[in-house]
Structure 1
Amino acid sequence: MAFYLALDVGGTKTEYVLADDTRELARVRGGTIKRMRTDASTATQNLDRALAELTALTGVSMTSITRSCVGAAGITVALVTDWIREAFAERVGGSLILVGDVEIALDAAFFGGPGVLVMAGTGSNVAGRTVGGDLTTAGGWGPVLADQGSGSRIGHQALRNTFFAIDEDRTTTLLPAILELWQLSDLDSLIGYANQIPAPDFTRLAPLVVKCAAEGDAVAQNVLQREAEELAHLAHLVIERLRRDASDSRPDWVPDLAFTGSILEHVAPIRDGIVQALRREHASLKVLPGTVDPILGALWRARSGQLPIAG
């Protein structure tokens, strides 16, 4: 019997799936093994603990693995890739496919085919794969430069708009909600707290924005609408790149759209706003239901043995 191991390596955690040809046998979550984010000793401990747990849950020895696929950010960095290859060679049987985290997320939605994926959680990014298999992205430059529609950007923009509302003599329920969450007594305390270096975690404000918007607060609603429109614009750029690439053979084609990430899973105004904005330009746009689980893309690639297209 063939066994397949799939990993989704993040900066703070790593997801593992062990499967055979038809079924998932076990899932495990462990600490990060990304060497840009942790030392070799910690990464080794995290990997060994997770692999041992998979074996304990299934009875499958890691030396019996037919093929593994690891999806990770930073695969162009030798520190990341060299460590993963060496660690797997010592612990896991079979061959190893190493691809970017964006690519496994696309695979989870489109199984190696063309399409556009919008990702939004703490940060955000938009990725697409052309008919020819080339990858293209927009956004994803981090919280200072981009991250439209992300939890961090929603929280930060809500704070900015709250103070703009104060300047315009408008009230917003965001202000008392933020003061309560951060346990601050007054506006002066909030000003000092928000401007401190290093900055506070603005992502924590995102659930407040969603709650206030649902209760009818106009400032919160405008934040979500604006972030949805800006993330939709990035998706539009990627869609147009894919359409230009395919224009000779498929002039009227519009790639399918998929979503992943906690914001797009749980914040309906962002998701719905993106779809509404895109359909103004692309009326025939098809949207995949729900949100995709990136590790399923790694599992698909492990099972299929399909290598990423170079370059």
Structure 2
Amino acid sequence: MAFYLALDLGGTKTEYVLADETRELARVRGGTIKRMRTDANTATQNLDKALAELTSITGVSMRSVTRSCVGAAGITVALVTDWIRKAFAKRVGGSLVLVGDVEIALDAAFFGGPGVLVMAGTGSNVAGRFLSGNLTTAGGWGPALADQGSGNRIGHQALRDTFFAIDEGRTTTLLPTILELWQLPDLDSLIGYANQIPAPDFTRLAPLVVRCAAEGDAVAQNVLQREAEELAHLAHLVIERLQRDASEGRPGWVPDLAFTGSILEHVAPIRDGIVQALQRRYPSLKVLPGTVDPILGALWRARIGELLKAGGA
């Protein structure tokens, strides 16, 4: 029997799935093994613990694995890839496929085919795959430069709009809610706290923005609407690129759209706002239900790795 190991390697955690040809046998979560985010000893300990847990649950030795696929950001960085290759060579059997985290997310939605994926969690990004198999992205430049529709951006923009509302003489329930969350006594304390270096974690404010918007706060509602529209615009840019590339063979074609990430899974105003904005421009747009699980893209690649290699993917 063949066994396949899939990893979705993040900056704070790593997801693992062990499967056979048809079934998931075990799924575990461990600390990051990304060498840009942690030292070699910690990465080794995290990997060993997760692999031991998979073996304990399934009884399958890691040396029995036929193929592994690791999806990670920074796969062009030697520090990341060299460590992964050496660590797997010592611990896991079979071959190893290393691809970007964006690619496994696209694979989870479109299984190697064309399409557009909007990703929004702590950060955000929009990725598309051409009919040729090549990738393109928009956004994803980090919190200081982009990350439209992300948890960090929602929180930060809500705080900025709260102070703009103060300037305009409007009230917003965001202000007392933020003061309560950060346990600050007054506006002056909030000004100092928000402007400190390093900056506070604005992502923590995102759930408050969603709650205030649901309760009818106009400032919070405007934040979510604007972030959805900006993320939709990035998706529009990627859709246009795919359409131009396919224009000769598939005139009028609109690639399917998929979502992934905690914001798009849990914050309906962002997701719905993206869909509404895009469907005004592309009435025939098909949106995949729910949100995709990127590690399933890594598992798909592990299972058919040799076919992809033979086909030049």
TM-score class, shorter: over 0.9
1:87 counterpart residue number: 87
Instruction: Find the aligned partners of 2:44 and 2:183 in 1 and give their Cα distance.
Output: 39
1:43 counterpart residue number: 43
| Superimposed CA distance per residue, residues 78-101 of structure 1 (whole angstroms, 9 cap, x where no aligned partner) | 110111011111111111100000
2:147 counterpart residue number: 147
Report the AA paired with residue 51 of structure 1: L
1:16 counterpart residue number: 16
The answer to whether the 8 A contact 1:178-1:208 is kept is: yes
1:271 counterpart residue number: 271
| Superimposed CA distance per residue, residues 197-237 of structure 1 (whole angstroms, 9 cap, x where no aligned partner) | 11000000000000000000000000000000000000000
Over 3 Å off, 4+ runs: 307-311
User: Mind listing any 5+ residue stretches in structure 1 that lack a counterpart?
Assistant: none
Instruction: Find the aligned partners of 2:171 and 2:13 in 1 and give their Cα distance.
Output: 40
TM score, norm. by length of structure 2 = 0.98
Instruction: Find the aligned partners of 1:269 and 1:111 in 2 and give their Cα distance.
Output: 28
| Superimposed CA distance per residue, residues 279-311 of structure 1 (whole angstroms, 9 cap, x where no aligned partner) | 111110000000000000000000111249879
1:186-197 aligned at under 5 Å gives the runs 186-197=186-197
CA 1:266/1:309 → structure 2, altered by over 3 Å: closer, same or farther? farther
2:248 counterpart residue number: 248
1:1-311 aligned at under 5 Å gives the runs 1-305=1-305, 306-307=308-309
Report the AA paired with residue 281 of structure 1: R
Report the AA paired with residue 3 of structure 1: F
- Sequence identity percentage: 88
Instruction: Find the aligned partners of 1:115 and 1:286 in 2 and give their Cα distance.
Output: 10
Instruction: Find the aligned partners of 1:166 and 1:257 in 2 and give their Cα distance.
Output: 38
Structure 1 vs Structure 2 CA RMSD: 1.1
User: Mind listing any 5+ residue stretches in structure 2 that lack a counterpart?
Assistant: none
The answer to whether the 8 A contact 1:67-1:94 is kept is: yes
Instruction: Find the aligned partners of 2:273 and 2:281 in 1 and give their Cα distance.
Output: 13
- Secondary structure of the structure 2 residue equivalent to 1:21: coil
Report the AA paired with residue 251 of structure 1: P
The answer to whether the 8 A contact 1:133-1:309 is kept is: no
Instruction: Find the aligned partners of 1:205 and 1:103 in 2 and give their Cα distance.
Output: 30
Instruction: Find the aligned partners of 1:307 and 1:186 in 2 and give their Cα distance.
Output: 60
Instruction: Find the aligned partners of 1:121 and 1:83 in 2 and give their Cα distance.
Output: 27
TM score, norm. by length of structure 1 = 0.99
Report the AA paired with residue 162 of structure 2: T
| Superimposed CA distance per residue, residues 94-150 of structure 1 (whole angstroms, 9 cap, x where no aligned partner) | 111000000000000000000000000000000000000000000000000000000
- Secondary structure of the structure 2 residue equivalent to 1:254: coil
